[in-house]
Chain A
Amino acid sequence: MKLLRAILLRLATMSVTLIGAAVVVFFVIRVVPGNPIAMMLPPGASEEDIARLTAHYGLDKTILEQFWIWLTGVFHGDFGTSISLRQPVMPLVLGRLPATLELAIFALVIAVVIGGAMALTGVRHRETRTETAIDVANGVGLSIPDFLWALILIVLFGVLMPVFHISGRISPSLDLPFVTQFYVFESIVRLRFDLWWDLLKHMFMPALALAIPLAAIISQLLKQSLKETMHLDYVTLSRTKGYSENHVILSEALPNAVLPTLTLIGVQFTFLIGGTVIIERLFSYEGLGNMAIDAVINRDLPLIQGIVIVFALLFTIINLVVDMTYALLNPRLRHA
């Protein structure tokens, strides 16, 4: 009962947040100067044409009226029509979302692998030069944001040692048999590992740029909690049982030290997704973030709204999932 009430409460605050986000974006972008309708018509279009199209997109109504129309539409699953692309917003957004999700998840995997490995190495060789080196690496990784890492990777592995692709999602010359937008997932299902490999080679650089700061955060926090755990009595006791240091770290200390890191990863994952906006732009990766920047440049109000709401929804869902995972993994909470 307690758990159910907690979940309901969370859902309530989530919806308040989402509606708040919708209101903020809706009103901020209505102040945008520049008439989007004038931008889409050829130069020299008549006043009537502009007026007619403005009315067509409902932009002649007051802001409050527009908001009401938009909000009722949203509850029917209708997010309006993109002005620049002249298509309904929802299919456009949903078509791009998988590319961004795949990139973000790949980045998360890289961050967990690198960060986890660094933390474990640091604890295994604690109070040695190795740990100092890892501390320095963590410090640098944390201080430099993904945008700069992306540029550095472009210079290093795109130009000086061109090993990876630094543009696009997949080589344009390839025939794509895909029916969904989840290319990586679908290429595995279809056993097309040639396509899968090409996708990964395109994703690796942007994903790594997104992953480095998160890897540093994971490494730092996990190492710290592992070190604290290593002093506890049950870890010492398991040493006397004849286990190796590696075993002691992995099976006694790690399960108890991992919880705070897990919570942090959840919060940081939303920041990582936020980072995809500029990273996709840098690597010409055709995801939601790249579309968002185009939408802003084109003053495509319905599309901007749609994208922002999808991002906000994604963030709140991730936070909810993290909280629930935390409750499931902690035996003390589970039985309470």
Chain B
Amino acid sequence: MSAFLTVKNLSAALHGFDQRVLRSVSFSIDTGEVLGLVGESGAGKSMIGKAILGILPSAISIIEGEILIDGQDLQKMKPADRRRFIGATAALIPQDPLTALNPSRRIEPQITSRLVDILGWSKADARVRAMELLNEVHIDNPERVMGSYPHELSGGMRQRVLIASAFAANPKLVIADEPTTALDVTVQKQILRLIRELQERHSTAMVFVTHDLGVVSKVCQRLSVLYGGKIVENSSVPDFFKGPKHAYSRALLAATPKYTDPDASLLPVDESVIEAVAAEVLAADKEWRHGR
């Protein structure tokens, strides 16, 4: 069976500029598998998730490549069909729970709206489902939370609500865009465990965007390391932590605190490594331009 999500040679660029922000990105994920997208800020890791979901900023557009979900090519769909297809099969767990909930609406419709408006559920069914989900994300009094406004909930609670909302329609693909970065360290672990729990229970394919290799080691089976919008290494998680192949990956790993040995000294990513990987990206660019 072919992979559930396949991204092939995906390139994106700013309007009016020759410079690409995504450089021929390719990867695939099977059902029930979690892929980590790792890189420093600005490496384009969130951009990939946005490209898949069709929410790239208006100034950026896909210039070549394919995104296949369940064998269907998103680029070939009409915009309206594509939107509905994404709404029914995929979901996003956003980065900042403080800004990702509509401040003027209660929690209940924010969880159930997709079920009612896009998938045609009855309001009553959707409500039952929302209660179920809030239980699944370990919220003690779902009744009260559903009637609340976002500003009445804590950051951790809001992220639970957003996770519940993401899993509401049994998505086959979830894109988690640094879902714990904006949270307190104490809450981070719980949320991470929760995402993993739901992903396993629903055997969802998941793209997990993060800058934290420690998180990757806990959640993902495979990972791709990005630099400058280009994947420099694809690897399985165990192999990667045994010894990354690419110099940049090694430097990145050396710069990450280890849970096994938190006192070990951290090395900043070396200038020469950055220069080497940047040169590699530029060389690939040259080749790409030549090929067109």
**Which of A's residues lie within 8 Å of B, judged by CB?**
126-127, 232-234, 236-244, 247, 252, 255-256, 331-332, 335
Q: What distance in Å separates the Cβ of A235 from its nearest Cβ neighbour in chain B? A: 8
Please state if B84 and A242 are interface contacts (CB–CB under 8 Å).
yes
Q: What distance in Å separates the Cβ of A244 from its nearest Cβ neighbour in chain B? A: 7
User: Which chain B residues lie closer than 8 Å to A234 at the CB level?
Assistant: 99-103
Interface size on B, residues (CB 8 A): 32
Of all chain A residues, the one with the shortest Cβ separation from B117 is A243
Can you list 13 contacts pairing A with B, beta carbon distance less than 8 Å?
Answer: A232-B99, A234-B99, A234-B100, A237-B162, A238-B102, A240-B86, A240-B92, A242-B84, A242-B85, A244-B83, A256-B104, A331-B151, A335-B149
User: Which chain A residues lie closer than 8 Å to B118 at the CB level?
Assistant: 241-243
Please state if A256 and B91 are interface contacts (CB–CB under 8 Å).
no
Please state if A127 and B149 are interface contacts (CB–CB under 8 Å).
no
Q: What distance in Å separates the Cβ of B260 from its nearest Cβ neighbour in chain A? A: 35
A-contacting 9-mer, from B3-11, B53-61, B133-141: B53-61
User: Which chain A residues lie closer than 8 Å to B58 at the CB level?
Assistant: 126-127
User: Which chain B residues lie closer than 8 Å to A238 at the CB level?
Assistant: 102, 113
Of all chain B residues, the one with the shortest Cβ separation from A230 is B58
**CA gap between A236 and B46 in the complex, in Å:** 13
Interface residue ranges of B37-94 to A (CB < 8 Å):
53-55, 58, 80, 83-88, 90-92, 94
The 8 A CB mask of B93-133 against A (1 = contact, 0 = none) is: 01110011111110000000110011000000000000000
Cβ of B263 < 8 Å from any Cβ of A? no
Cβ of B287 < 8 Å from any Cβ of A? no
**CA gap between A238 and B95 in the complex, in Å:** 14
**CA gap between A335 and B95 in the complex, in Å:** 27
Please state if B96 and A233 are interface contacts (CB–CB under 8 Å).
yes
**CA gap between A309 and B84 in the complex, in Å:** 58
Of all chain B residues, the one with the shortest Cβ separation from A235 is B102
* Among B88, B100, B102, B149, contact of A242 (Cβ-Cβ < 8 Å): B88
Of all chain A residues, the one with the shortest Cβ separation from B88 is A242
Most chain B beta-carbon contacts within 10 A, residue among A232, A234, A252, A255: A234
Please state if A240 and B104 are interface contacts (CB–CB under 8 Å).
no
Please state if B84 and A331 are interface contacts (CB–CB under 8 Å).
no
User: Which chain A residues lie closer than 8 Å to B94 at the CB level?
Assistant: 233, 236-237
**CA gap between A332 and B99 in the complex, in Å:** 15
Of all chain B residues, the one with the shortest Cβ separation from A330 is B104
**CA gap between A61 and B273 in the complex, in Å:** 96
Of all chain A residues, the one with the shortest Cβ separation from B87 is A242
Q: What distance in Å separates the Cβ of A227 from its nearest Cβ neighbour in chain B? A: 11
| A252-B80 contact in complex given A237-B94, A243-B118, C-beta closer than 8 Å | no
User: Which chain B residues lie closer than 8 Å to A127 at the CB level?
Assistant: 58
User: Which chain B residues lie closer than 8 Å to A331 at the CB level?
Assistant: 103-104, 149, 151
**CA gap between A69 and B131 in the complex, in Å:** 69
Of all chain A residues, the one with the shortest Cβ separation from B151 is A332
Q: What distance in Å separates the Cβ of B108 from its nearest Cβ neighbour in chain A? A: 14
Please state if A242 and B99 are interface contacts (CB–CB under 8 Å).
no
Cβ of B152 < 8 Å from any Cβ of A? yes
Please state if A242 and B92 are interface contacts (CB–CB under 8 Å).
no
**CA gap between A331 and B91 in the complex, in Å:** 28
Please state if B104 and A241 are interface contacts (CB–CB under 8 Å).
no
Q: What distance in Å separates the Cβ of B160 from its nearest Cβ neighbour in chain A? A: 15
* Among B86, B100, B103, B149, contact of A237 (Cβ-Cβ < 8 Å): B100
Please state if A252 and B90 are interface contacts (CB–CB under 8 Å).
no
**CA gap between A144 and B90 in the complex, in Å:** 50
| A240-B55 contact in complex given A234-B100, A234-B102, A255-B104, C-beta closer than 8 Å | yes
Most chain A beta-carbon contacts within 10 A, residue among B88, B102, B149: B102
User: Which chain A residues lie closer than 8 Å to B54 at the CB level?
Assistant: 239-240
| 14 further A-B pairs in the complex, CB-CB below 8 A; given A255-B102, A255-B104, A256-B104 | A233-B96, A234-B103, A236-B55, A237-B94, A237-B162, A238-B102, A239-B54, A240-B53, A240-B92, A242-B86, A242-B118, A243-B117, A244-B80, A256-B103
Please state if B104 and A242 are interface contacts (CB–CB under 8 Å).
no
**CA gap between A242 and B116 in the complex, in Å:** 12
| A237-B152 contact in complex given A242-B83, A243-B87, C-beta closer than 8 Å | no
Closest 9 CB pairs of A and B: A242-B87, A233-B100, A241-B114, A242-B118, A233-B99, A234-B102, A240-B92, A240-B53, A255-B104
Please state if B83 and A243 are interface contacts (CB–CB under 8 Å).
yes
**CA gap between A236 and B177 in the complex, in Å:** 13
Please state if B80 and A241 are interface contacts (CB–CB under 8 Å).
no
